[in-house]
A and B are shown apart, each in its own frame.
Chain A
Amino acid sequence: LAKTTQPISMDSYEGQEVNITCSHNNIATNDYITWYQQFPSQGPRFIIQGYKTKVTNEVASLFIPADRKSSTLSLPRVSLSDTAVYYCLVCPGNTPLVFGKGTRLSVIA
């Protein structure tokens, strides 16, 4: 499975756009890139998934360059309630999800 590297933590002020970049240099052809969000005392929650280029939903955008060796999760205008741990996962669809340590995002008023 492709190894992912993402920052351990990030801080942001409310209302700012937050970009979290994940490196996955050995991504395989059949791997998807998926991001999950986890609040304290809750299970992870799916945010967004993509294979290449850009994907956008009501919560976030996911930017994937042509070589797919990295990806960037973009959260527009964050609020205090976006404080959570964000996990970048790279794996084929037919295997269990493998989580790293994630990025702890702290949003400050």
Chain B
Amino acid sequence: GAGVSQTPSNKVTEKGKYVELRCDPISGHTALYWYRQSLGQGPEFLIYFQGTGAADDSGLPNDRFFAVRPEGSVSTLKIQRTERGDSAVYLCASRAQEDTEAFFGQGTRLTVV
């Protein structure tokens, strides 16, 4: 595709439920990042993939959050036992190489009720 695609664009879930957020990076981009953004704040880094492996997962807030990228392309961010505090916009970005510009998707707005 022309850009980074994230689905769904909006997700409303009940507290305690499990959710999956999907990111389709730009074709050929080896680096993929997940961020979380709350209202009025800058994007907060969660996890970074280089190919299929998580090169840096230091931003994941706790073990309820997990992400995979099994074939080095599409990535899924998984949140277990969602809490109201998980409500935010989840952004995905990809880069051709580590030192090139990052391209962001439109984000998934997650609302936990």
Interface residues, chain A, with chain B CB atoms under 8 Å away = 32, 34, 41-46, 49, 85, 87, 93-102
Checking B4, B42, B45, B59 against A101 with a beta-carbon cut-off of 8 angstroms, the contacting residue is B42
Chain B minimum-CB-distance residue to A87: B42
Q: Which A residues are CB-close (under 8 A) to B45?
A: 96-99
Majority-rule SS of A interface residues: loop
B: residues with CB less than 8 A from A are 4, 33, 35, 40-45, 48, 56, 59, 91, 93, 98-99, 101-107
Number of CB contacts from chain A to chain B under 8 A: 53
Q: A102 and B104: CB pair below 8 A?
A: no
Residue of A whose beta carbon sits closest to that of B59: A96
Shortest CB–CB separation between residue A36 and chain B, in angstroms?
8
Q: Main SS of the interface on chain B? A: loop
Contact (Cβ within 8 A) B44 A46: no
Q: Is the CB of B44 within 8 A of A43?
A: no
* A9 CB to nearest chain B CB (Å): 11
Which residues of B lie under 8 Å from residue A99 when comparing CB positions? Answer: 35, 42-45
Residues of A within 8 A of B103 (CB): 46
